[in-house]
Amino acid sequence: MNILNYKSLMFNYLGILSKYNNSQWNLPFYAQKIIIAINNSMLVCEKVIEASSAQIQNWINELKSISNFINMNDISSCREAFSKMQLDSSNVINDISLQISVLQDCVSTIEDVMSTSQIFYGDPEINALNEFKNDVIGFFNIEMNFQVYLLVILSDCKALNNLFSISMQPYNYEQYNSMLVVKVQTEALFVKVKELRLSL
């Protein structure tokens, strides 16, 4: 599941849950709680993913610049660029961590609704009640799956963060045939960053 799948599913659920606003019992109240949670989640999610996508494109451009620095044997510019990328990746990590915490709040809201006895332990013959229960459980599963997706992205960003940090370290460049080590690392990073962009 990526961001586009998630947004599409959430829009569908907003429509599904809105039908309970005219139901009896307490369904309008609980449906509204989840609708608010969905909206909060989608709002933060869009901001984070848009920022992350832009940042990843910046990294691709930075790595192209670093390749030029390597060709010019410009060690200081390479290290400066990697330092900036390391700082930027820390910001992306913080943003994605924020989104995961918002999703966790959303899941907590759903769990609260699911544990409310007057909602889920009524007459099993009441179709609307059972439909609502199934819809809420379906939404819960989507949120949990999207958390897993974001945790994978978060892990990839942390791995890149470590690689950027390692690439900043000084080397004995004469021993490693001038900038060969940085060149190899840059090529590997370029592949990893492009893979990360495709996963969003």
pLDDT at 118: 63
pLDDT at 110: 74
Whether the CB-CB separation of 62 and 81 falls below 8 Å is answered with: yes
Q: How far is CA 116 from the centre of its chain?
A: 30
Of 62, 90, 91, 92, nearest to 78 (Cα)? 62
pLDDT at 2: 66
Confidence band for 125, pLDDT divided at 50, 70 and 90: very low
User: CA dist 13 to 41, 46, 109, 138, 196, Å?
Assistant: 13, 17, 15, 9, 28
What contacts 100, CB < 8 A, 6 or more positions away?
147, 150, 151, 154
The pLDDT tens digits for 70-124 are 778 777 787 788 778 778 878 878 877 877 787 777 778 777 776 776 655 555 4
What's the structural domain count of the chain?
1
The pLDDT tens digits for 149-169 are 777 777 777 777 777 676 666
The pLDDT tens digits for 5-54 are 777 777 777 777 777 766 555 666 777 777 887 787 777 777 777 777 77
Confidence band for 175, pLDDT divided at 50, 70 and 90: very low
Q: What is the CATH number of the domain that holds 159?
A: 1.20.1050
Whether the CB-CB separation of 3 and 45 falls below 8 Å is answered with: yes
Of 187, 196, 88, 100, nearest to 151 (Cα)? 100
pLDDT at 24: 57
pLDDT at 128: 62
Domain range enclosing 144: 3-199
The pLDDT tens digits for 176-191 are 455 566 677 777 777 7
Of 162, 176, 178, nearest to 69 (Cα)? 178
Structure tokens at 67: 């390749």
pLDDT at 98: 79
pLDDT at 150: 74
Which carries the bigger pLDDT value, residue 4 or residue 179? 4
